[in-house]
Structure 1
Amino acid sequence: MRILSISAQKPDSTGSGVYLTEVVKALAEEGHRQAVVCGVYEEDRIVLPEGTLCYPVYFNSGKLPFPICGMSDEMPYPSTRYCDMTEEMTKAYRQAFTEAVHRAVEELNPDLILCHHLYLLTSIVRREFPDRKIIGFCHNTDLRQMEKNPLWRDEIREQIRKLDRICVPQKPQADRVCGIYGVDPEKICTVGMGYNDRIFRRTGKRDTLIPGEMLGDPAGVTRIVFAGKIAEKKGVMSLIRCLPETGLAPDRIVLDLAGGAGNQEEYQAIRDLAEASPYNIRFPGKMAQPDLAALYNEAQIFVLPSFFDGIPLVVIEALACGDRVVVT
């Protein structure tokens, strides 16, 4: 088959970006011809399987003189909130992506179009190509945008209803998609979540432990890791504050907070909170997947105390590496 994947965001850096890239990789291994349309910056390095055509739409450019539009209000890279989009910005966004998608469709002539996020770009693609088979992927953040943001809400709802199929990670999203967009339940497919088991796997020894027992390396240090946006909504501040509740001395815990900054002011507040803590809290930054897998294998516990999430890939990836996982 010839398959075109589309996202308004980077094909990395976030859960939905990694999801898109891993789907493209899996389809490439099956021998499908593919192309990708995505929103990036000119300095970004786009890594896709060999032979995959790429049609980048550049933000902070002449056509789009503003940062990438993020499905979350705080992204791990400079971004524009959809609620701050003016009519002029929305028009430029629509024109830039419409041109890129038309080029991709003309050159690839796809049998199937996969659109990530049930939001503005997916509605534009559905309207532009009413006769193409289009499947939309819900990533949870799109539902929150629809609930709180009036931007093109009626137009988005109308076009999302016309998608051929909609994939959701789990049943609660299926129920919300029906309620928010008025989609026929027969169009919705619950697909769960997957991970790259070539990267995320056990490479170190894991001792068998009694349930409830604290973990530790031979030096008696418990290594805890968080991965995601370094932001309050991800529960990072709560995680730092709760370390004394473990009952372990400060020299018995190492906490790695892996990920990029969302809001810079908030990020600095988190850094300040970490500096004031007696515990060893490290900020390794945004990490490539192999490096993140290595960090998981060095740790014993993965913690994701976020206040909003669907089925985060990081949870499954940490489990695959043998970590004990604590989530909200």
Structure 2
Amino acid sequence: MKILSILAQKPSSTGSGIYLTEVLKSFRKMGEEQAVVYGITKEDKVPEFSGVKAYPVYYESTDLPFPVLGMSDEMPYRSTRYRDLTEEMLEAFRLAFLKRVREAVQEFQPDLVLCHHLYLLTALVREAFPGLTIYGFCHNTDLRQMEKHGLKREFIRENIRKLDRIFTPKEAQKKEVIRVYGVEPDKIRNIAIGYNAERFKLPKEDIIYREGIPRRRTVRLPNGEILEKGEALDLLFAGKLGEKKGVFSLLRAVESLFHEEKEKSSLRLFLAGDNGNLTEKEAVYRLAESCSYPIHFLGRLEQEELVKFYQFSDIFTLPSFFDAVPLTVLEALACGNKVVLTALEGLEDFFIENTPASPVFFVQLPKMQNQDEMKKEDMAAFETKLKESIRKATEYTYKNMVSISFLSWDAICKNILDCKD
């Protein structure tokens, strides 16, 4: 089968970018012919998709003279918010992407088109190519954009309803897709998410054991410093360094826990990620400077480097205010971490259904404003709950590793193709 994948932003750095990249790899292993359209800038390293015909669309160029459009308002790289698009910018976006998609369709002649995000580009592609079989992936940020502002909302709704199939990560997203877009329920299939089981796994060389689970003995920081696995409890966060991912709350919660537990144990926190919003990023660094425990900023890591920190850490923390099923959680579990995670809608059900024995500790969220904004008066109580969940994770004895290898990208790709038969 000939499959064309389409993404309006970079095929890296974010959950949807990694999703696209991993799906391309799995389809390649299955022997499918592929092409891909994606957004990028001239400054970026062009990704290497072995055996895949690439049709990049360049932002910050003559045809598209603004930074990459981001499905989140705060991206890990310089970006443009959809809500800030003018009519001229919208038209430039439409022309630039549809030009490349037309080239791909004419040259590649796809049997199936896979569009990531139920948003503007997917709607444009559906309208422009009514005769093609087009499937769309919900990545949750598309739902947030539809709810937070009215950019081309009715145009998007109308064309998303015309997709041949829609994939959602879990039941909560399926219900939201029905509500937000008015899609017929029988068009939607929950296919969960996957992780790269060949990369994300327990360490096997130069290891020590923590509670029966092998951990890396050492890890090298980006500055070249080598840290050894000692008595300290090592916590890891991976994602955008911003308020909506709960980073400020995490820093404060760990500070409180550190003062309460410093006679019993020491703590270290590793933060992997970046933020294209420099003001917010600097605020994270300022707060970190006031903390009493060691904090290591790792920057944005490629997956082959991130896996080393998963294998070194004890607890992975992601106190996000809004998410679907974060890929990083599966990666962390596969590498032997306990996980502290906010109880976002449907997440507890997802883990109960798919991997009930995994050591995942949920933090209850208060009622949010605008889907992903926490009221100031609720912040202190939330951070106390976050601290207690981290404490529970530290006290939990984890001796028998839980396998989640069935949640693979290969299985997801098989489910996608089963819909075409």
Normalising TM by the smaller chain, what interval? over 0.9
Decide whether aligned partners of structure 1 residues 315 and 99 sit closer, same or farther in structure 2, where only a CA change above 3 A counts.
same
1:243 matched to 2:257: no
Conserved 8 A contact 2:251-2:288: yes
Conserved 8 A contact 1:25-1:48: no
Q: Which amino acid aligns with 1:208?
A: E
Name the count of aligned residue pairs.
322
| TM-score normalised by length of structure 1 | 0.95
1:266: which partner in 2? 280
2:77: which partner in 1? 77
1:135: which partner in 2? 135
Conserved 8 A contact 2:119-2:156: yes
SS at match of 1:99: helix
SS at match of 1:78: coil
Conserved 8 A contact 1:33-1:52: yes
The 5 Å alignment of 1:274-313 reads 274-313=288-327
Deviation at 1:44?
Answer: 1.5
SS at match of 1:113: strand
CA distance in 1 between partners of 2:329 and 2:208 (Å): 20
SS at match of 1:282: strand
How far does the alpha carbon of each residue in 1:269-295 deviate from its partner, in whole angstroms, 9 at most, with x for none?
110110111110111100010110000
Q: Which amino acid aligns with 2:78?
A: P
Deviation at 1:206?
Answer: 4.2
Conserved 8 A contact 1:8-1:38: yes
CA distance in 2 between partners of 1:239 and 1:64 (Å): 37
Decide whether aligned partners of structure 1 residues 243 and 161 sit closer, same or farther in structure 2, where only a CA change above 3 A counts.
same
CA distance in 2 between partners of 1:205 and 1:102 (Å): 54
How far does the alpha carbon of each residue in 1:96-136 deviate from its partner, in whole angstroms, 9 at most, with x for none?
00000000111110000000000000000000100100000
Q: Alignment RMSD, CA only?
A: 1.5
Conserved 8 A contact 1:304-1:326: yes
Q: Which amino acid aligns with 1:28?
A: R
1:232 matched to 2:243: yes
Deviation at 1:244?
Answer: 3.3
Deviation at 1:51?
Answer: 1.7
Q: Which amino acid aligns with 1:258?
A: A
Conserved 8 A contact 1:235-1:304: yes
Deviation at 1:218?
Answer: 6.2
2:211: which partner in 1? 208
Q: Which amino acid aligns with 1:200?
A: F
SS at match of 2:261: coil
Q: Percent identity?
A: 52
1:100: which partner in 2? 100
1:42: which partner in 2? 42
Conserved 8 A contact 1:123-1:155: yes
Deviation at 1:48?
Answer: 3.7
CA distance in 1 between partners of 2:125 and 2:109 (Å): 14
CA distance in 2 between partners of 1:205 and 1:272 (Å): 34
1:166 matched to 2:166: yes
Conserved 8 A contact 1:72-1:81: yes
Q: Which is further off, 199-208 or 24-33?
A: 199-208
Deviation at 1:319?
Answer: 0.4
SS at match of 1:310: coil
1:220 matched to 2:234: no
SS at match of 2:162: coil
Q: Which amino acid aligns with 2:262?
A: A
Decide whether aligned partners of structure 1 residues 51 and 218 sit closer, same or farther in structure 2, where only a CA change above 3 A counts.
closer
Deviation at 1:49?
Answer: 3.2
Q: Which is further off, 136-145 or 275-284?
A: 275-284
How far does the alpha carbon of each residue in 1:23-50 deviate from its partner, in whole angstroms, 9 at most, with x for none?
0000001111111100101122232432
SS at match of 1:273: helix
Conserved 8 A contact 2:143-2:176: yes
Decide whether aligned partners of structure 1 residues 48 and 165 sit closer, same or farther in structure 2, where only a CA change above 3 A counts.
farther
1:156: which partner in 2? 156
2:386: which partner in 1? none
Q: Which amino acid aligns with 1:230?
A: L
The 5 Å alignment of 1:171-186 reads 171-186=171-186
How far does the alpha carbon of each residue in 1:131-165 deviate from its partner, in whole angstroms, 9 at most, with x for none?
10000000000001011121111111000000000
Conserved 8 A contact 1:231-1:262: no
Q: Which runs of 5+ in 1 are unaligned?
A: 210-216
2:53: which partner in 1? 53
Q: Which runs of 5+ in 2 are unaligned?
A: 213-227, 343-421
2:26: which partner in 1? 26
